[in-house]
Amino acid sequence: MNILKTTIATALLLASAASFAQQAATPQPWTYKTKQLSRAEIDKLLLQPGKVLVLDVRRPDELPAKGSFPVFLSIQNADLEKYLRYIPKDRQIVTVSNRAHRAGAAGDLLTLRGFKVAGAAGTQDYEEQGGYVEHIKPPAPPAAAPAPAVAQAQ
């Protein structure tokens, strides 16, 4: 009886894991007005560095794992409204996140505020399409300082 329960429990776990994996692999539908850019469109824009601003809206801890474009302005999505005055209005903007969804939301906000948004990009999508992103290595933690010598009383 215990073997049967264990077998059933294992089968249920495997089935739920497979279902989760299928759901995770299914891309989210694009619900933004901002265009989701292809690798070719991104590459064409990046050839005009004086006319384009790459705005990465992810948290700083995401950059080492997911990579980013070689030069970018970093303002997290949650802070975007607060820092609009630092974003130039004379350039086309490519908003960036991992799979472009946060970038799409940022692009919609920027468009509403009068910015010229070329589109949204996901670094993971771009890399999977053969594009190159920088994988920034975090600095090594500082070495522990040696303990100071303690003078012994005599």
- Please state, rounded to an integer, the average pLDDT across all residues of the chain: 84
All residue ranges of the chain with pLDDT < 70 are 1-26, 149-154
What's the pLDDT score for residue 21? 44
Nearest by Cα to 37 from 110, 118, 115 = 118
What is the value of pTM for the model shown? 0.74
Q: Residue 54: which H helix or E strand, with range? A: strand 52-56
CA 106-116-35 angle, 5° bins: 55
CATH fold of 32-128: Oxidized Rhodanese; domain 1 (3.40.250)
Q: Per-domain residue ranges for the chain? A: 32-128
Please give the C-alpha separations between residue 127 and each of 46, 98, 99, 134, in angstroms, as whole numbers.
Answer: 15, 10, 11, 10
Task: Evaluate whether 103 touches 80 at the Cβ level (below 8 Å).
Answer: no
- State residue 152's pLDDT score: 65
Rounded Cα gap, residues 119 and 114, in angstroms: 14
Give per-residue pLDDT as tens, 87-96: 999 999 999 9
Residue 72, CB-side half-sphere exposure with 13 Å CA sphere: 24
